[in-house]
Structure 1
């Protein structure tokens, strides 16, 4: 998706302000917002023209360049031969605020990591506060493609840009083609939190998937489930759908995408997970994002985000009464980790496995009902987790009236899904529909991220030869360090942390010996604040 305006400096200087603003206003439908934005754009274009009259005429300017992962647009990109200037404009601002610095650095990091034509290019973030006092800039090579952030006000932008260009340019480098750069592939790897925020702010899965194949795979799976739901409604029957996938294929994202599509079609769906911290962080992140976008109070926004719930609490509520659930469609993430009857008895004094309880609850619906089970692979089954065969046994023994939709992989138990099987031998009395679309076969996770996880495992399992091989062959560009000094590690993380990227310390739940170092693993933390709050907040992981 290209920026809204692209031109060389020479033609930009000749263009009428209203002509430029007309390009920027395309797609803005909120009249009040447009009026406010037009004023800001006019100031920005005027300031840029004043500064750019001193710059080379063959440099190229792009305005309102989109960063889909953040649902934001970069105010201005200046392509100066082999350099990329990322400029964040703060109209009437008298200070270079920490948030403005984080914002422009985060844009720059996104270009470095996800923008194909920016790979291995020098990217220079610039905070431009129109009314701020002049601030000295320090030019040095920090060993990163994203250079140290520069500061400029309404009077000295041209001096800042020219000085940076003279210091950072390499005249032997190939000149950036502005049209190719503006239309470059953008291949993000968003966190599950960012992906959820994108979906529920109105974007589609294609805009946040790392690859075209990955987005197509997710879209096909979503459509297959929506068609199955429609069929269940038309036939007035109960169905269960099993979604499988290779590690990193985005099963959780697929589940959220399905819930999002159900909500858009005035349906009722709920996303259930046994991962308590994920539920807390996800619901709080969606509530905060919704509050910010719609300008409603956060407390009200939290009440609106009711489609992500803790599966144990969901089951506990309905187990203790005979109510019919208000949601006729539920999606259960990591369904293979549902508790067996013995663990349910120990934990909550229940006499049923969680799979059986879920069927019992959804069976209360008159007419149609749908369960979508997301099956993870490559993960250890912990004590008390029933595994996939519990689902097959429950269906065969007590709920054979439910139709089954599954991928061929799950029916056959292939290595793609850790040899999981619903049934050792498929019962002849069950109605089973096989749909290839229910298997996510394309990983949307970064290849190197997978190798990094593999390297950590080999390190912890004391396999130095394998760890060294992974490091040398796959992770040369990763900044991996080993230290026994906790303060050294903390200082390194704080010094290197830029933009809105997060840092934090992870320890084993049994690491009681870390308490003298100020790390009490037995102390409870507010996981939502830990994961989401800004780096300056003492409750944040970054602090």
Structure 2
């Protein structure tokens, strides 16, 4: 069996049948790169045993069996794929009995088949057969027919373990003499079909995403930025160049929408149908943002189709969104699957046995243009190298020891694999690196200077300000001869979005103790109120009194906040699905932000906004004698000050300050800041009743915010 990074095991039928079950199981466990749960091991044992029995009649055929196949860039894994007589069988296993048949399980295996036909180059226009195996199901499908979705995808077939062999036989009988599948089907490129691209465009045109990103920027401003980016793309294509644009903008200025618009306009260029080989993709490392954008667009499209009495599932709409909006990590992992591993001499090289060279894109991805949202959050070399060395956060990803690049460098390298031309668009938020190992913009510039000196660089003049790369952008680019400044690459805002610009300026002044902060707040306080309280119930009432109709409210805290339970506040659990419910469910759903029970952190809300928000200011960042002091709760009894001059400690303090910068700019129409009073009670012995919430931890912060002219409620 040759090594593949797209699955945990694959082999020809004859070799699979001659391998012992234990050796196959060992390969699966080893490929998983981590501790495998006992339930998963038992499931694999059962699947291996069953497939050995099922494939006995085909032991002399040239087919292949694949376990745990990753569909490129979609983050989905199929239990078993059989490539047999020109047919692709997708098999999903569920444990159950004769009554255990859920519609969701049937939909799941059909979705896998549709994902293959829509995004997998070597599955396009090939017969795909989704089969759901419910272990002890007593019946088996008798009707074999093509689905309403696609002429080449069958309706899901359902069977117990004992009926699988017969089902496969019936399909082959009905569809004989099909041309053989590509020998390298497993490493097929990701390539969306024209059908899915057109569907995605129709879906996006509703622009319901504006309600989620709270886009306020003046249309003239965003159009100028989009036109500038498209001009750079056209120039790169015309001259056969590689180029990169850095776009800046204040919170709420529409960076995300600019990115999505560029993806759509570049793909269509004013035509009704997508232009061949002109694709673009919007990428973000912000899981909650991608999940919320995807679900918002998909739900809107689903409801519109339902109103028109069109037959469509929500999963179809999600698949269509997936053409334009991807997680950056899946894009990265798909490129990692193509490299020689281990890396030798610190140089990344494509492994021709793991990748297919395409005429248009070489070994690169299908898109010429990649838009990276929140580019300042890309990982440092240290963080990415450590992550890949251990095989991901949970030990179940591809292991790449001695990885030589930062995430920014690798993403440029990935686009550089195209042999014709490419453009990267980096959407940059200033001072918004909020997590350990987030590099800011300096890693992008260092990579361009050191490894990609021929790339043309187009940057916003605002990128030279202190919030980007600690104000060192000019210094970093001094020796680069390919730099062009363009004012159009900054999303400036005028009176139509007066709030966004003034609020951003005020927040910057507040955090940096600028004496003009009070005067700046006076300029917009009538349009955008910021009020202070020490009582969470008063904060909740203020929010509820102001929100009208479908306007959204919510509570925000930093991820370092710790003493919120006494205020009847809980932290929104991690997981993109929770963020989707928090942002999208209405006032009748307890999972909604509007219930004002679950508070979201800067990790969950960056890139998104509410109409009115409450920022619960905990004791993790305190104003004391004209300075900010930072503390981390030990989880039990006390707060530990984050002092020291080490690089890691300085970074930690920067991230904590930036967390408040992000949260202070999440509300579109108004903000209430709650700085708790703490617990002033003492025991009969004169000791603090709660040493983790002593009033002095909060009083200085409250007094400072009050001094800025914020109204108390």
TM-score in terms of structure 2 length? 0.42
8 Å Cα contact 1:237-1:369 kept in structure 2? yes
Could you say if the C-alpha distance between residues 366 and 455 of structure 1 is closer, same or farther in structure 2, counting changes exceeding 3 Å?
closer
Q: Is the 8 A contact 1:356 1:394 kept in 2?
A: yes
Runs of 5+ unmatched residues, structure 1 = 1-195
Matched, 1:424 2:476: yes
Contact 2:442–2:473, Cα closer than 8 Å, also in 1 = yes
Q: Which of 543, 562, 578 is matched with 1:493 structurally?
A: 543
Could you tell me which residue of structure 1 aligns to residue 302 of structure 2? 291
5 Å matches for 1:339-350?
A: 339-349=379-389, 350=403
- 1:376-435: CA deviations, max 9, x gaps? 32445754222333222212222223233334555xx3569673516535336x434444
Structure 2 residue aligned with 1:308, among 321, 325, 328?
Answer: 325
Give yes or no for the alignment of 1:318 onto 2:335. yes
Give 1:183's aligned residue: none
Q: Which residue of 1 aligns with 2:368?
A: 328
Q: What is the deviation of 1:501?
A: 0.2
8 Å Cα contact 2:433/2:440 also seen in 1: no
Q: Report if the CA contact (8 A) 1:337-1:386 is conserved.
A: yes
- CA shift in 2, pair 1:475/1:328, >3 Å: same
Contact 1:452 1:475 survives alignment (8 Å): no
Query: How far did residue 473 of structure 1 move?
Result: 5.4
> Do structure 1's residue 268 and structure 2's residue 279 form an aligned pair?
yes
Higher helix share: 1
Deviations 1:176-215 (A, max 9, x none): xxxxxxxxxxxxxxxxxxxx9996326999xx9757xx32
Q: Would you say the 8 A contact 2:243–2:422 is kept in 1?
A: yes
Structure 2 counterpart SS, 1:339: coil
Q: What CA deviation, in whole Å up to 9, does each residue of 1:340-388 have, x standing for no partner?
A: 1011123333442011110221122231222111233244575422233
Q: Distance in 2 between matches of 1:359 and 1:300?
A: 32
Contact 1:249 1:445 in 2 (8 A): no
- The answer to whether the Cα contact below 8 Å between 1:404 and 1:432 also exists between their aligned partners in 2 is yes
| Alignment CA distance shift 1:451-1:427 (3 Å) | closer
SS in 2 for 1:542: helix
Asked whether the equivalents of residues 372 and 426 of structure 2 are also in contact (C-alpha less than 8 Å), the reply is yes
Change (3 A) 1:493 1:419: same
CA separation in 2, counterparts of 1:478 and 1:245? 20
Q: Counterpart of 2:292?
A: 281
Size of the aligned set, in residue pairs, is: 340
- What is the distance in 1 between the residues matched to 2:549 and 2:202? 18
Alpha-carbon separation, structure 1, partners of 2:588 and 2:538: 19
Q: 2: CA distance between counterparts of 1:426 and 1:454?
A: 28
Q: Deviations over 1:434-478 (max 9, x none)?
A: 4443333335774345555666788889x7997766665541465
Post-superposition shift, 1:479?
Answer: 5.3
Cα distance in 2, alignment partners of residues 425 and 453 from structure 1:
26
Determine which of 411, 433, 437 is the counterpart of 1:384: 437
8 Å Cα contact 1:247-1:443 kept in structure 2: no
Question: Is the partner of 1:504 in helix, strand or coil?
Answer: strand
Q: Tell me the equivalent position of 1:61.
A: none
Question: Is 1:362–2:379 an aligned residue pair?
Answer: no
The alpha-carbon deviation at position 226 of structure 1 amounts to 1.5
Distance between the aligned counterparts of 2:520 and 2:460, measured in 1? 33
CA contact (8 A) 2:203 2:301 kept: no
Spell out, residue by residue over 1:90-140, the C-alpha distance to the aligned partner (whole angstroms, 9 max, x if none).
Answer: xxxxxxxxxxxxxxxxxxxxxxxxxxxxxxxxxxxxxxxxxxxxxxxxxxx
Structure 2 residue corresponding to 1:438, chosen from 489, 492, 498: 489
- The 1:351/1:488 distance shift into structure 2, 3 A limit, reads same
Mapped to 1, the partners of 2:405 and 2:498 lie a distance apart of 40
- Kept in 2, the 8 Å contact 1:197–1:289? The answer is no
Inter-CA distance 247–378: structure 2 relative to 1 (3 Å threshold): farther
Equivalent position of 2:262 in the other structure: 258
> Shift of residue 511 of structure 1?
2.8
Cα offset, 1:284, TM superposition = 1.1
CA contact (8 A) 1:270 1:331 kept: yes
Q: Does 1:242 align with 2:246?
A: yes
Q: What corresponds to 1:396 in structure 2?
A: 449
Q: Which residue of 2 aligns with 1:513?
A: 563
| Residue in 2 that maps onto 1:148 | none
1:540 corresponds to which residue? 592
Does the CA contact (< 8 Å) of 2:215 and 2:252 recur in 1?
no
Could you tell me how far 1:488 is from its partner in structure 2?
Answer: 4.1
- CA deviations 1:41-81 (Å, max 9, x no partner) are xxxxxxxxxxxxxxxxxxxxxxxxxxxxxxxxxxxxxxxxx
Q: Report if the CA contact (8 A) 1:243-1:375 is conserved.
A: yes
Q: 2: distance between equivalents of 1:389 and 1:278?
A: 23
Matched, 1:201 2:173: no
Structure 2 unaligned regions, length at least 5:
1-200, 307-311, 340-354, 356-363, 390-402, 596-713
Structure 1 pair 452/362, CA: closer, same or farther in 2 (3 Å)? closer
For residue 471 of structure 2, give the secondary structure of its aligned residue in structure 1: coil
Partner in structure 2 of residue 523 of structure 1 = 573
Instruction: Flag the 1:491–1:354 CA change in 2: closer, same or farther, 3 A.
Output: same
Normalising to structure 1: TM-score of the pair? 0.54
Whether the aligned pair in 2 keeps the contact of 1:343 and 1:384 (CA below 8 Å) is yes
